[in-house]
Amino acid sequence: MATLNLTEQEYIDRYGPNPAHTPAGGWDNRQPDKLVKTHCCFCGVQCGIQLKVKENKVIGFEPWEEFPVNRGKLCPKGVKRYMQNEHPDRLKAHLIRSLDHGFREASFDEALDKTVAEIQRIQGAYGKDAFAFLGGASMTNEKAYLNGKFARVALQTANIDYNGRLCMVSAGAANKLAFGVDRSANPWSDIPQAKVIILAGTNLAECFPILTDYVWRARDNGAKIIVIDPRITPIARTADLFLPVRPGRDNALAHGILHVLVQRSWIDESFIANHTSGWENLESLVAEYTPEKTEQITGVPAQSIVAAAELWGPAETSMLLHARGIEHHTKGVENVLSYINLVLASGRIGKPGSGYGTITGQGNGQGGREHGQRCNQLPGGRDINSPPHRQHIAEFWGVEETSIPQEGLTACEIIDAIEAGQIKGLLSISFNPLVSIPDSERTRAALEKLEFYGAIDFFMNETARHADVVFAGSLQEEDEGTVTTGEGRCVRLHNSVSPPGDARRDWEIICRLGQKLGQEKHFSYDKAGQIFEELTAASKGGPIDYSGMTYQRIEDEMGIFWPCPAPDHPGTPRLFENGKFHHPDGRAKFHAYPYRPPAEDIDSEFPLFFTSGRVVSQYLSGTQTRRIGGLVDQYPEPLCEMHPLLAKKLGIEDGDRVRVVTRRGDIELPAQIVRSIRPDTLFIPYHWAGKKAANRITNRALDPISKIPEFKVCACRVEKIGPPENASTSHGQ
Partner 1 sequence: MASDLTNEPSADVEAEEEVEFFLDPSRCIGCQACVQACAECDTHRGHAMIHLEYVDRPTGVQTAPVVCMHCEDPTCAKVCPADAIKQDDEGKVHTAAKPRCVACSNCVLACPFGVPKMHAEFDLMMKCDMCYDRTSMGKKPMCATVCPSGALYYGPRAYVEKYRQESPTREFHFGAQTVKTKVNMMTSPEVKALPFDVLDFLPWEGESETDASEDLFATIRSGAPNAASAAVWDHALTEHL
Region binding partner 1 by CB under 8 A among candidate stretches 207-215, 321-329, 534-542, 686-694: 207-215
Dihedral sign of CA atoms 502, 507, 509, 512 in order: negative
Told to check if 442 binds partner 1 by CB under 8 A, we report no
Query: 72 vs 665, which CB is nearer to partner 1?
Result: 72
CA–CA separation, 183 vs 174, rounded Å? 10
CA–CA separation, 210 vs 173, rounded Å? 26
Which of 235, 513, 661, 671 touches partner 1 (CB under 8 A)? 235
Shortest separation between residue 272's beta carbon and partner 1, angstroms:
27
β partners of residue 667 = 660
> 271 in helix, strand or coil?
helix
Nearest CA to 468 out of 524, 427, 498 is that of: 427
Q: Which of residues 4-33 bind partner 1 (CB under 8 A)?
A: 21-22, 27, 29
Shortest separation between residue 3's beta carbon and partner 1, angstroms:
39
Region binding partner 1 by CB under 8 A among candidate stretches 136-144, 266-274, 667-675, 684-692: 667-675
Query: 353 vs 357, which CB is nearer to partner 1?
Result: 353
Q: Which of residues 238-297 bind partner 1 (CB under 8 A)?
A: 238-242, 244, 246
Query: 324 vs 382, which CB is nearer to partner 1?
Result: 324
Query: 142 vs 600, which CB is nearer to partner 1?
Result: 600
Task: Note whether 621 and 432 are within 8 A (CB).
Answer: yes
Helices and strands, number each (H, E), in the chain = 23, 30
Told to check if 646 binds partner 1 by CB under 8 A, we report yes
One-letter identity of residue 296: Q
Dihedral sign of CA atoms 324, 330, 332, 338 in order: negative
Omega before residue 563 within 30° of 0, cis: yes
Which of 232, 399, 705, 721 touches partner 1 (CB under 8 A)? 232
Task: Note whether 705 and 178 are within 8 A (CB).
Answer: no
Query: 154 vs 311, which CB is nearer to partner 1?
Result: 311
Q: Which of residues 681-710 bind partner 1 (CB under 8 A)?
A: none
Shortest separation between residue 32's beta carbon and partner 1, angstroms:
11
Q: Which of residues 575-634 bind partner 1 (CB under 8 A)?
A: 607, 616-617, 630-631, 634
> 619 in helix, strand or coil?
coil
Shortest separation between residue 342's beta carbon and partner 1, angstroms:
19
Q: What distance lies between CA 514 and its chain's CA centroid?
A: 27
Instruction: Break the chain down into helix, strand, coil percent, rounded to 5.
Output: 35, 20, 45
Query: 374 vs 678, which CB is nearer to partner 1?
Result: 678
Q: Which of residues 518-557 bind partner 1 (CB under 8 A)?
A: none
Shortest separation between residue 207's beta carbon and partner 1, angstroms:
11
Query: 378 vs 647, which CB is nearer to partner 1?
Result: 647
Shortest separation between residue 113's beta carbon and partner 1, angstroms:
44
Which of 672, 695, 699, 706 touches partner 1 (CB under 8 A)? 672
β partners of residue 138 = none
Query: 366 vs 617, which CB is nearer to partner 1?
Result: 617
Q: Which of residues 42-101 bind partner 1 (CB under 8 A)?
A: 60-61, 63, 65-66, 70-76, 78-80
Binding mask 300-319 toward partner 1 (x if CB under 8 A, else -) reads: x------x------------
Q: Which of residues 316-375 bind partner 1 (CB under 8 A)?
A: 352-353
CA–CA separation, 562 vs 479, rounded Å? 23
Total chain residues near partner 1 (CB under 8 A) = 75
Q: Which of residues 174-193 bind partner 1 (CB under 8 A)?
A: 189, 192-193
CA–CA separation, 152 vs 396, rounded Å? 13
Told to check if 104 binds partner 1 by CB under 8 A, we report no
One-letter identity of residue 272: I
Shortest separation between residue 183's beta carbon and partner 1, angstroms:
21
Shortest separation between residue 104's beta carbon and partner 1, angstroms:
36
Query: 128 vs 219, which CB is nearer to partner 1?
Result: 219
Shortest separation between residue 543's beta carbon and partner 1, angstroms:
30
Shortest separation between residue 612's beta carbon and partner 1, angstroms:
18
Shortest separation between residue 98's beta carbon and partner 1, angstroms:
38
Distances (CA, A) of 486 to 110, 208, 211, 407, 609: 39, 10, 11, 26, 30
Name 167's Cβ contacts closer than 8 Å, sequence gap at least 6: 137, 324, 360, 361, 362, 365, 708
Shortest separation between residue 316's beta carbon and partner 1, angstroms:
13
Query: 151 vs 632, which CB is nearer to partner 1?
Result: 632
Q: Extract long-range pairs of 380-389: CB within 8 Å, 24+ residues apart.
A: 380/538, 380/539, 380/540, 380/541, 380/542, 380/543, 380/544, 380/545, 380/546, 381/182, 381/539, 381/542, 381/543, 381/544, 382/542, 382/543, 389/542
